[in-house]
Amino acid sequence: MALSLHYLDGTGWIELDQAAYGFCMVKHQVSYSHPASFSFRLHAPQHTRPIPDRALCYVYNDSTLVFLGHVWEIKPTDSNVVDYVLYDVTMRARNEITIMSGPHGDPDVIPRRVDDVANDNDDDFAFENLHNATIGNLIADYMDNAYNELFTNCAAAPLVSPYGDAYVSSDLTPLDFIPQDKVVSESELLGQALERLLSRYPAYRIIFTPDVVGTNNKWRFVNVKTASQLTLTLNDFSGSKKVLSCQLNRVLDKRFTAFKIYGPQKVEATVAYVNDDSGTTSSDESVGIDEQWSSGEAIIFS
């Protein structure tokens, strides 16, 4: 596994020099209906910012893109330590894009939108956007109207040609319920609006699939009940999926039971020599860093 992090600083893409900044304590966390996070530590003077605020970053694991997002937190935790927290591009989209009455950028739109007004005597009937629209129709229209901001400001949408919309149309087809009451979004952020619409489908979650900047970035609306299943066996260390420990938290107050699983870390033991001893011809010293023992081998200190 080889991670590489690149960031955009206004002049172009720059690859982070991991050795120079002591890139370490890396954690990548992905969950449904929440922006993915990527955190790490850099060794640099606490008043500096090796990667700028709100910089767009992407992370590769070998040749696989695993993260695309913006710098969200820069925390100096020691005199020469700076901790970073990045969230994927949907974080900005969720928190900076407001639902409007039409396509964003149109000078006539306002931050209030009304759909599915069943009563033609309702005062909002004249301002209705979509009539008899399904939940899927509303989600699609919300994201179509916000496309310019999704693509330009947040990098959370692909180029329409040739990659299409910011969502996958087939994901929204099953969301065919037509709300019986009018749907009003007033000064509401995109993330809040999407979650409110999906509340009518408890099994559905949002997950973002990153791709190279400007290409096939998609918001996916998935039914978690149709996800593929993986069977994990406790106290069985023969397979490729090993469970070292687990924790079950039972909750009765309108929440789902949480179950955390911790798997094995990859540990390597090495010895690094700071100064070379010219009085010895030890091959270990000449190498500088050399593996001194293997897994399970006894170590004797003298």
Instruction: Give 183-230 pLDDT, tens digit per residue.
Output: 999 999 999 999 999 999 999 999 998 887 667 889 999 999 888 877
Instruction: Give 237-256 pLDDT, tens digit per residue.
Output: 777 777 777 777 777 666 66
Q: Going from the N-terminus, what domains does the chain have, and what CATH number goes with each?
A: 3-88 (2.30.300.10), 92-226 (no CATH), 232-302 (no CATH)
Instruction: Give 177-191 pLDDT, tens digit per residue.
Output: 999 999 999 999 999
CB 55 within 8 A of CB 155: no
pTM score: 0.76
**Cα–Cα distance measured from residue 37 to residue 30, given in angstroms and rounded to the nearest whole number:** 7
- pLDDT for the residue 293: 45
Q: Give counts: helices (H), strands (E), the chain.
A: 8, 15
89 Cβ contact partners less than 8 Å away, ≥ 6 residues apart:
56, 68, 69, 70, 154, 155, 156, 208, 210, 217
**Cα–Cα distance measured from residue 28 to residue 76, given in angstroms and rounded to the nearest whole number:** 20
Q: How far apart are the first and last CA of the chain?
A: 35
Count of CB atoms within 10 A of residue 168's CB?
Answer: 15
| SS3 state at 264 | coil
- pLDDT for the residue 73: 95
